[in-house]
Amino acid sequence: MSALKYDKIALFVFSIFRENRDKKRRWCFIREESVLKELTELWGVAGYEKEVRRYLERSAAPFADEILTDAVGNLIVRKKGTGGPQSKKIMYAAHMDEIGFMVKTIEDDGRLRVCNMGWNWTAAAYNSRVRFKNGTIGVVGCMGPLEEAANKTGKLYIDIGATSKQDALRYVNLGDPCCYSCDYMELANNRICAKSLDNRIGCYQLLEALKENDGTCPNDIYYVFCVQEELGCRGSKTAAARIRPDIGVAVDITPAHDYPCDLEGSNAVDAGIGIKICDPSVVCDEDVVEAMFACCEQNGIRYQREVIDQGGTDASSINQSGFGVRTGGIVVVTRYAHGPSSVASKLDIEAGIDLINAFSRYTFQFM
């Protein structure tokens, strides 16, 4: 075959590949979008994750070698590997909890004064709907001009329609938590909007990765669905103490910087799955980070490097557990985090599952 004819064939094949790739970007394949939708719409304020855990336990059980719930409420799912001299024990951690509020005072006129359960944007909460575990709906108001609240949750209140304290007590009580009440919505260009993308995205990614783990990975994999990350990365600390992993990976979201906001950095929606390098709470292990880069390069997974100067993930607690654990992070860039309507890319979410699968199969050279 002449070189000219070969070049023409190669160009034709490449054009078909490029066309299919572009179509995929326009019409993103997502493994089980109904599962992601259901997860985001579940009620699961930090410290009250039972509903989310039951859903995940029911979904994960058919694919697990071992499954248990520990004393603080973490769901730990183990999938055994084939073993060998270079086999590692890998712990993936995705937190089940979402931000919310808790009733701290009920005023005589029926308004509910609240405190944070996790960190909330006061401006994002204002005029938003919230839902209590029993289904009671309320609207968030503010004591005076919102500008004067200065992001102090104590200036907010929730209006459930009650006309007095006694009336309010028919529906809620002191200490009742609530979360945002928002539907899962499709946006343009394969993007989605929902409450609790932080971190039901991570829960969805771990669940789908578990389903695709056929037991032929060289490494033992622990898919851990953690509690109370939003209150200080509490669940991952006890889970890591139990598992004693060789490698710990936080699977979470990270703030976007590619739109007008109060943060600065390089994170961009649709730029690929984020590989955490550093945040204020952890400096990720060099070998773990390099292994993630290699997994992406070898498997054609689009990725971006992630560095942030505010915030953190469960990687911090895992890193400092026991005598120390090599740690990394797999993160989906998300806009409007810690509010009722976060936005993320289906392409980035799916790329995260691909990276989890590739990393689980990776042969590590370090001891």
Catalytic site positions = 229
Cβ atoms of 338 and 125 closer than 8 Å: no
* 146 φψ region: left (φ > 0), alpha (ψ -120 to 50), beta (else): alpha
Q: Which amino acid is at 266?
A: S
CA distance 100 to 131: 10
Packing angle, helices 346-360 and 197-212, rounded to 10: 50
Q: Dihedrals φ, ψ of 317, to 5°?
A: -70, -40
Kindly give, in sequence order, each residue whose CB lies less than 8 Å from that of residue 248, ignoring residues fewer than 6 positions away: 90, 91, 93, 236, 240, 315, 318, 319, 321, 325, 326, 327, 328
Q: Which residue in this structure is represented by tokens 């509690």?
A: 227
Q: Is 344 exposed, middle or buried (0-12, 13-18, 19+ CB in 10 A)?
A: buried
Name the DSSP class of 98: B
Q: For residue 269, which of 322, 193, 196 has the smallest C-alpha distance? A: 193
Q: Buried b vs exposed e over 83-93: b needs ≥16 C-beta within 10 Å? A: eeeebbbbbbb
